Structure 1
Amino acid sequence: MTPPLADILATARVVALPMTTRFRGVDVREALLFEGPEGWAEFSPFVEYSDAEASVWLAGAIDFGWTPQPAPLRSRIGVNATVPAVPPGQVDAVLARFPGCRTAKVKVAEPGQLLADDVARVRAVREAMGPEGRIRIDANGAWNVDEAEHAIHALAEFDLEYVEQPCASVDELAELRTRVNYMGIPIAADESVRKASDPLAVARAGAADLLVIKAQPLGGIPRALDIVAEAGLPAIVSSALDTAIGLAQGAMLAASLPELEYDCGLGTGALFAEDVADLRPQRGEIPVGRLSPDVERLERLAASPERTQWWIERLTRCHALLVASG
């Protein structure tokens, strides 16, 4: 059941968190937080997303705030460092914000940059982490099949753990996986799961070796667990640049997976100059458990009245969609 809008609005707070480094075009991350009977939850679809897509995020937030969650199987989650599309000279400073992380996810295919920039960045990460570090790359679906094949060849020398969402469509992923299968570099699907009307299509098509799942965009922890179970593929839990409240939901999802072979992308709190609570990686891990925002930080990080009103209106529209869908 979707709770009344008034119950959500009663505790709703909109925050604007400054980033230490521009990430996916974002300098300040906005989110709407609210408290339900089970604890605090986060509603933070990216601003360009439609109300229809954003309403799924709201369903995930409501589920976390109003519904008891599955019992965790782990108390701590290993996480990866996240390296934005920075110049090679900034890599060491970024990695320093992720103490103890043995894995790094490197953003590639940034608009306005070249493959040579990606190669230089990944090389800098490999040099910083040494031969035992694990490196995965994420193209956010920006390459076509030929570009992706060429890029994977160019980056293979750095011993990639996997390539995340190299192409946008399931058909492209399937073709690329066939082309590069001999290289032994797994293909992971992110947007093809969380932004798809059928999140299982990528598994049925044999288009990916791994799934990258996110709690809020998939409508909550129970639904995300169902998708993983039906897909029958290994899963990695990642954030959508969440505040600490959303990261706590992601950690609870990771803690509930029957198997968890990979470090998860839940250390992104380290990319914020300040957060509403502290869930930054320590010794390469984050703890599992619900969090409450710090009251003083909620005040200091509050969004402007104009942005707060924008988020309240968005919440209202998305709530109406959930009520209409039953």
Structure 2
Amino acid sequence: MTEPSLDDLLSSLRVVSIPMRVRFRGVTEREVALIEGPAGWGEFGPFLEYAPPEASRWLTAAVEAAWHGWPAPLRDFVPVNATVPAIAPDAVPAVLQRFPGTTTAKVKVAERGQTTEVDVCRVAAVREAMGPHARVRVDANGAWDITTATEVLGRLAAYDIEYAEQPCASVEELRDLRIALARNGIDIPVAADESIRKAEDPMRVRDLEAADLIVIKAAPLGGVRRALDIVAECGLPAVVSSALDTSVGMAAGVALAAALPQLDHACGLGTVALLDGDVTAESLVPVDGKLPVRRVAADPGLLDRHAASPERVQWWRERVTSAWEVT
């Protein structure tokens, strides 16, 4: 199938702004652009601070979804985790109720302006709410140095942590942290996220033995096929996650998880539940802790309801153009 032109992308572009139920990653309104092509709908939603070179990978993923489709799935459903933002511990049960049937939770920690004590209490609240047999993982988004990560993970180990996602920023720090955790008898695996999706060379994680597993996202890596290639080359177990997408974008993450040869971990693909709205009436939200593998079509009425202002639409049109120029 032929590649689209820039005019093809801009002619079908729709921009939406959807409120968040709770503040997540500093975001209270999620803006994304949607494009429609011969294979269906694709989503272009790099966070607002991302420059064109990084945003271009998200555009490549949107073009893959809308013009080429995805590889054939190996499974019909994928398990998902609940996502707990950096909220007060007493708010944890209400958030978990939005993820019925899930037996795994990812807990945001190391939020700027919050204390370690709040993080520990939040994780404790999740463990208490989900019971002793649930899996609980934490995500620090690279905010800790090695000393802090070792100290905090040492405290969190009491809550039987499945793994710590990107506890430190650099690949070298992740490597040194794994050594420090082993020396201190702290049995918490390390997962690389930003060190994979934001890196010029994701294989450095493998080469430096900096992680026990990797977290992959379809859009930031340039699409489902590119993400599958990275998993195969890296040779580490993979967890599929999302980037705070609408159901259109989430469908790409589900397609990626469905196409992985091996899927041993619940996926971070349940975040549509954090949005106070969607672009389809049949949202991709977990049922009994699973998501179905399917395409999602945007609903014209919902696109109109959540339409961004003309000024923001123009901003996104210029952003698509800038990303296109460096693809």
TM-score, normalised to structure 1, is 0.97
Counterpart in the other structure of 1:45: 46
More off after superposition, 307-316 vs 259-268: 307-316
Give the 3-state SS of the residue equivalent to 2:326 in structure 1: helix
- The amino acid of 1:12's aligned partner reads L
More off after superposition, 66-75 vs 18-27: 66-75
Q: Does 1:140 align with 2:141?
A: yes
Which whole-Å CA distance do the structure 2 matches of 1:76 and 1:107 have between them? 25
After the TM superposition, which residues 278-293 of structure 1 pair with which residues of structure 2 at under 5 Å, given as runs?
278-293=283-298
Counterpart in the other structure of 1:166: 167
Give the 3-state SS of the residue equivalent to 2:253 in structure 1: helix
Which whole-Å CA distance do the structure 1 matches of 2:39 and 2:203 have between them? 30
After the TM superposition, which residues 9-158 of structure 1 pair with which residues of structure 2 at under 5 Å, given as runs?
9-158=10-159
More off after superposition, 284-293 vs 177-186: 177-186
The equivalent position to 2:248 in structure 1, one of 241, 245, 248, is 245
Which whole-Å CA distance do the structure 2 matches of 1:85 and 1:36 have between them? 37
Counterpart in the other structure of 1:314: 319
Give the 3-state SS of the residue equivalent to 1:15 in structure 2: strand
Q: Does 1:263 align with 2:263?
A: no
The equivalent position to 1:303 in structure 2, one of 297, 308, 312, is 308
Tell me the matched-pair count. Answer: 322
Which whole-Å CA distance do the structure 1 matches of 2:148 and 2:50 have between them? 26
Which whole-Å CA distance do the structure 1 matches of 2:55 and 2:106 have between them? 25
Which whole-Å CA distance do the structure 1 matches of 2:238 and 2:229 have between them? 12
Report the alpha carbon displacement of residue 257 of structure 1 after superposing the two structures with TM: 0.2
Give the 3-state SS of the residue equivalent to 1:260 in structure 2: coil
Report the alpha carbon displacement of residue 2 of structure 1 after superposing the two structures with TM: 4.4
- The amino acid of 1:308's aligned partner reads V
- The amino acid of 1:57's aligned partner reads W
RMSD of aligned residue pairs (Cα, Å): 0.9
Report the alpha carbon displacement of residue 68 of structure 1 after superposing the two structures with TM: 3.4
Give the 3-state SS of the residue equivalent to 1:173 in structure 2: helix
Give the 3-state SS of the residue equivalent to 2:123 in structure 1: helix
Which whole-Å CA distance do the structure 1 matches of 2:253 and 2:177 have between them? 29
Q: Percent identity?
A: 58
Encode CA deviations 1:153-212: one digit per residue, 9 max, x unaligned: 011100000000000000000000111134321100000000000011111110000110
Structure 1: which 4+ aligned runs deviate by more than 2 Å? 181-184
Counterpart in the other structure of 2:278: 275
CA contact (8 A) 2:42 2:65 kept: yes
The equivalent position to 1:254 in structure 2, one of 253, 257, 265, is 257
Give the 3-state SS of the residue equivalent to 1:137 in structure 2: strand
Which whole-Å CA distance do the structure 1 matches of 2:67 and 2:18 have between them? 25
Which whole-Å CA distance do the structure 1 matches of 2:289 and 2:301 have between them? 28
Counterpart in the other structure of 2:220: 217
Report the alpha carbon displacement of residue 280 of structure 1 after superposing the two structures with TM: 1.1
More off after superposition, 296-305 vs 163-172: 296-305
Which whole-Å CA distance do the structure 1 matches of 2:70 and 2:27 have between them? 31
Which whole-Å CA distance do the structure 2 matches of 1:69 and 1:14 have between them? 23
Counterpart in the other structure of 2:188: 185
Report the alpha carbon displacement of residue 297 of structure 1 after superposing the two structures with TM: 0.8
- The amino acid of 2:207's aligned partner reads R
TM-score, normalised to structure 2, is 0.97
Encode CA deviations 1:121-163: one digit per residue, 9 max, x unaligned: 0010001001011100000000000010011001110000000
CA contact (8 A) 2:3 2:67 kept: no
- The amino acid of 2:272's aligned partner reads G
Which whole-Å CA distance do the structure 1 matches of 2:63 and 2:178 have between them? 36
